[in-house]
Amino acid sequence: MALLDWMAADAALVLEGEGVRLRPPRMGDFLQWSTLRERSRDFLQPWEPAWPVDDLTRPAFRRRLGAYSRDIETGQGYPFFIFAEDEVLVGGITLSNVRRGVAQAATMGYWVGQQYARKGYVSRGVKAVCRFGFDKLRLHRIEAACLPSNIPSRDLLLKVGFSLEGKARAYLKINGAWRDHLLFGLIDDEAGWDDNTTSGD
């Protein structure tokens, strides 16, 4: 994708939620992102795939942006960083594995820096991304998963309207080990939210 095309796509993907603003990552976000991830390493690693050795380096971030650009260009994924009202980066949300045809579905994943956890940023961001998925992408279904032991993530999904649909054995390789996950789904016509909700993450 040409630079001007990427900038145009970026501008079209700015989402507003209550007290949060979401947009695709940019190279200028590297310092905030790498600092937040490093400070939150012990908090995040139990719930994520193992981090590559160079994960927090500038070249790795640049490669990440390249992959994001290709996903947006092909319509296969939509990454967002979550910013608080003061333009401070607090976390991220991605719609990935977008399936068209008879499915019209995508998978949602998210993370939050440790100092911003359980302050409502992610729940408000999730609502904004779901609205984008249903209203702009015309998806019918959004899916999410979390480890059974990740009680805050489970509670967040339930509070914003996702339904617990089951459990998948050895579903994803998390922090170096295949782990069971709880599976959640949200259908377009079930997504009715009170925007004043400020439930914790």
Contact between 109 and 97 under an 8 Å Cβ cutoff? The reply is no
Beta-carbon contacts of residue 168 (< 8 Å; ≥ 6 apart): 145, 180, 181, 183
For 10-42, write each residue's pLDDT tens digit: 567 999 988 999 999 999 999 999 999 999 999
* DSSP secondary structure letters along 81-93: EEEETTS-EEEEE
Q: pLDDT tens digits for 129-188?
A: 999 999 999 999 999 999 999 999 999 999 999 999 999 999 999 999 999 999 999 999
- Domains of the chain: residue spans and CATH: 3-190 (3.40.630.30)
Spatial contact of 111 and 121, defined as CB atoms under 8 Å apart: no
How many whole angstroms from its chain centre is CA 130?
10
pTM: 0.89
The separation between CA 77 and the C-alpha centre of its own chain, rounded to angstroms, equals 10
